[in-house]
Amino acid sequence: MTVAMGEVTPDMAVEHGLTSDEYALILKLLNRPPNLTELGIFSVMWSEHCSYKSSRRWLKQLPTEAPWVIQGPGENAGVIDIGDGLAAIFKMESHNHPSFIEPYQGAATGVGGILRDVFTMGARPIANLNALRFGAPDHPKTRHLVAGVVAGIGGYGNCVGVPTVGGETNFHPAYNGNILVNAMTVGLAAADRIFYSAAAGPGNPVVYVGSKTGRDGIHGATMASAEFGEGSEEKRPTVQVGDPFTEKLLIEACLELMATDAIIAIQDMGAAGLTSSSVEMADKGGCGIELDLDHVPCRETGMSAYEIMLSESQERMLMVLRPGREDAARAIFEKWELDFAVIGQVTDSGHLVLRKDGAVVADIRVGPLVDQAPNYDRPWTSTPTASEADAADFPLPDAAERVLERLLASPDLASKAWIYEQYDSQVMADTAAGPGLDEGGDAAVVRIHGTSRALAMTTDCTPRYCRADPERGGAQAVAEAWRNLTAAGAKPLAITDNMNFGNPEKPAIMGQFVGAIQGMKNACQVLDFPVVSGNVSLYNETDGEAILPTPAIGGVGLIDDIGQHMTPRLKRAGETLMLIGETNGHLGCSIYLQQLFGEERHRPPPVSPASERRNGNLVRRLIIRGLVSAVHDLSDGGLYVALAEMAIAGQIGADLEVPDDLPLQAWLFGEDQARYLVSTTEPGEVEARAEAAGVPCRAVGRTGGDALTLNGANAISLDTLRAAHESFLPELMARAR
């Protein structure tokens, strides 16, 4: 077979982000120089984004198995068995680089992409979550980015009709030049109707459905695999444009076709578009694919093979159908007014062969393209162990209740209502607990449609912990996700991870990655909380400044009776508040030190997955037994902040006891892990059960009134606290107009 040749030089390989060694390997694999289309295909398939070349060997260390795992990492999304013949399918994915360059479309297409990953596998998406990190609030770009990202997430999710039920938002100067937009989708499918991407059956038709292919998003994957510098905004043409209406039609059409037996394999066209979808389908099936690019529906005329293969136009899918089912499938897509085209066939050659205008324009062996992709063992150095903070060095600078007021108004702890009120969190009419603590909880709770069971879901990470101590930070992110699901009354089942880091070619950054993986691994193992899907986003650096290491964790758990799901808002006055878990007053890397002393260099709190498991299992039993009326996990801001959040949400005050065995600031604001604050009318029973389980537990106060007090003094009204909590974002964003 003769392949059309073009003038490809080693310089062009460098422009495509390939190293000279990588280019040499391409020459060896092809036994000839590639043409431009082939160079483009290698460059995107071997980009960090698609090949995981710096992270692969480390990701392998994460636990991925449990009896309830149906599909772990390696497919479009992870799949877990949730009983009654149903499966939950979920994944989190980053759209960081595009969202910084063009926040509305970057975030919107992030949502669109993760939705496709989930419904590609046969699931109806039932919920979206978003983990967002922005730069310092006063950075000149921050407000523009917040406004654009939030509008983009809402614009896509609201239209497509999947509720946005939760997430998290942090602000930190380390994200000034690289924001993080991590989007998570959870879907539901019949456990015996999961769709995979492995192509099979030589001669079977390869079918393209969805939107037409345009010139947008070319080199998106390559852009996401490099640092930013001056002029990054000029990369705007590499950002795709989303069309949620078409995505909605695509969901309905695909699910309608999936109800038949027409589909052998299906794969969405995400990063690297038609290239990665066709290569992955062929590779997973151990076969070849032949495509005639003249049949690809194009938005504009005169598109080259290179452009068609590298376009990242949105809302497109590639399928292998059973022979003879083309017409039935076409009728469904025509009903939904979507493009449908047979563009090729499965072969037994093991090659990806592309034709255009009658000529072969690319011919690459699929196996080596995937297997021989670079797999680097990057040098790494451990993050030096940080020093412990001594509470005595950081006395309260003001009355405790004034410090609380300041912390509640601080960027990370302030209410995010300005954000989530731009999302439809209720569409599909199964949301039992959405975003925010007034009507939501530590985790979002979404009913499994037509049943009395529910899924709980959350996203978590404390990036400042991860920078000070990557291993503790990685473990804490997993533990907090597990704890948040538990606090909602769910049994935690599995996680998806979104690993956001700087430039892996720097040993210190690679060391952060390695440390975080180590911490996650230990926590996942002890908590029986396997990783079933994930995504890695590296090179989050601008002008050499890296982001905080941010291994964002998306957790999913199961609630057997939706009537038993738990929320943090106080329900009744006169109840006893009980603190579950051990309190040592660990102030290192706390929000208290960050906000009042500008310090986040100390060692974060230790994480004991065994204690997490023991304490959390007790709390879940208390919830199921109906022994508690409100539960909140303790995290950023510690005990005092958690109590304030419960009180504000429930519009019921409380008095908190102050013990004399700890400095006041350590008691109130320490961030020791594995802790929950619960409200109960049966403190004796709670205490007895805790003692039997070997879990530290003590009464720490009572609910009632319309203020928070400490040993009856230091009163601060709930109205004052609510005003502080709700002021930050509206005031920040009002300045943007």
Partner 1 sequence: MKSCVIVFPGSNCDRDLATALALVTGTAPMMVWHRETALPDVDLIGVPGGFSYGDYLRCGAVAAQSPVMPAVAEAAKRGVRVLGICNGFQVLTEIGLLPGILMRNQELCFIGKAIELKVKKEGSSFTSSYEDDTQIRLPIAHHDGNYFADDETLDRLEGEGLVAFRYVDNPNGSQRNIAGIVNPERTVLGLMPHPERAVDPALGPTDGRPLFDGLMQALS
Taking CB under 8 A as the rule, does residue 84 contact partner 1? no
Output the smallest distance, CB 128 to partner 1, in A.
Answer: 13
The CB-side HSE value for 96 (13 A sphere, CA atoms) comes to 37
Distance CA 660, CA 559 (A): 39
158 binds partner 1 (CB under 8 A): yes
Count the alpha carbons within 13 Å of 479 in the hemisphere toward its beta carbon: 33
Query: What is the x/- site pattern for partner 1, positions 541-580, by CB under 8 A?
Result: ---------------------xx-----------------
Residue 726 beta carbon to partner 1: minimum distance, rounded to whole angstroms: 13
CA 696, chain centre distance (Å): 33
In the set 161, 201, 237, 663, which binds partner 1 (CB under 8 A)? 161
Is 104 near partner 1 (CB under 8 A)?
no
Q: Which long-range contacts (CB under 8 A, 24 or more apart) does 622-626 make?
A: 622/678, 622/680, 622/686, 622/689, 623/489, 623/564, 623/566, 624/489, 624/564, 626/564
Task: Report 221-280 residues binding partner 1 (CB under 8 A).
Answer: 243-246, 248-249
Could you give the residue ranges of the DSSP H alpha helices within 628-703? 638-650, 664-669, 683-693
Q: State which of residues 76, 238, 431, 542 lies at the interface with partner 1 (CB under 8 A).
A: 431
Stretch that binds partner 1, among 159-167, 294-302, 319-327, 514-522 (CB under 8 A): 159-167
Contact 492, 485 (CB under 8 A): yes
Supply the minimum distance, in Å, between the C-beta of residue 731 and partner 1.
15
Closest CA to 200 of 346, 345, 317, 326: 346
Q: Scan residues 347-376 and list those touching partner 1 (CB under 8 A).
A: none
Whether 725 is catalytic: no
Range in contact with partner 1 (rule: CB under 8 A) among 71-79, 148-156, 262-270, 667-675? 148-156
C-beta of 164: minimal distance to partner 1 in Å?
8
Nearer to partner 1, 164 or 232 (CB): 164
Q: Would you say 250 or 516 has its CB closer to partner 1?
A: 250
Q: Which stretch binds partner 1 (CB under 8 A): 419-427, 679-687, 692-700, 713-721?
A: 419-427
Total residues belonging to the chain: 737
Decide if residue 336 touches partner 1 (CB under 8 A).
yes
Task: Give dist(CA 711, CA 652) in Å, integer.
Answer: 17
Please identify which residue in 18, 265, 432, 510 interacts with partner 1, judged by CB under 8 A.
432
Helices marked H in 259-399: 273-285, 305-310, 326-335, 366-371
Among 234, 337, 660, 661, binds partner 1 (CB under 8 A): 337
> How far is it, in rounded angstroms, from Cα 511 to Cα 123?
37
- Amino acid sitting at position 150: V
Helix (H) or strand (E) holding 377: none
Closer residue to partner 1 (CB): 259 or 359: 259
Q: Which stretch binds partner 1 (CB under 8 A): 127-135, 152-160, 405-413, 468-476?
A: 152-160
Told to judge if 49 belongs to the known catalytic residues of this protein, a careful annotator would answer yes
* Residue in the block written with tokens 């007021």: 405
Point out the catalytic residue in the list 16, 49, 351, 602: 49
335 in Cβ contact with 237 (< 8 Å) = no
Residues that bind partner 1 (CB under 8 A): 151, 154-155, 158-161, 243-246, 248-249, 336-337, 417, 420-432, 439, 447, 452, 562-563
Catalytic residues: 49, 95
